[in-house]
Amino acid sequence: MPRSGKQLKYRFFPAANYRQDEVWEYTYEQWGQPQADRYIRGLHQMLAKVAEKRLSWRELPEMHGTFLYFVRYERHYVFFRELSGGVIGVISILHESMDLPRRLREDLEARSRGWASGCRGVVG
């Protein structure tokens, strides 16, 4: 639910929330908590701009019956789709060194199995 009267601009599907946790944990282990917190804050600031369409969306071919878009944030690709009401649903966050097609397919399949049946709200 919105906090402080703000409208939700983006939401995380569970797979994306899990990936976000992976990013934070890896960054924490490599460079410490201040850097991990900074990186995730920057990710959320970028997502707010994406939701407001202040950053260009790049479209992917239709996958699993879903039109997907992506943007790049530093060394990660953020995959999302447009939900009703001008909200974006973040499906996955993947590092550039990963097998992007395979990992994205895994996250989309998890979504279609119901793992990601609902998005978690995030104030952007």
What CATH number has the domain bearing residue 88?
Answer: 3.30.2310.20
Report how far Cα 39 is from the mean position of its chain's Cα atoms. 13
What domain range is 33 assigned to?
A: 10-115
**Residue 5 domain-assigned (yes or no):** no
Residue of higher predicted confidence among 121 and 87: 87
Residue 79 near residue 57 (C-beta atoms within 8 A): no
pLDDT at 3 > cutoff 80: no
Q: How many domains does the chain have?
A: 1
The reported pTM is 0.80
Q: What is the percent of the chain where pLDDT is above 70?
A: 78
**Residue 40 domain-assigned (yes or no):** yes
Q: In degrees to the nearest 10, what's the CA dihedral of 115, 27, 89, 75? A: -120
- Longest C-alpha distance within the chain, in Å? 40
Read off the pLDDT of residues 18-77 as tens digits, 9 standing for 90 and up: 999 999 999 999 999 999 999 999 999 999 999 988 778 888 876 666 688 999 999 999
**Residue 124 domain-assigned (yes or no):** no
**Residue 52 domain-assigned (yes or no):** yes
Q: What is the percent of the chain where pLDDT is above 90?
A: 48
Q: How many residues are given for the chain?
A: 124
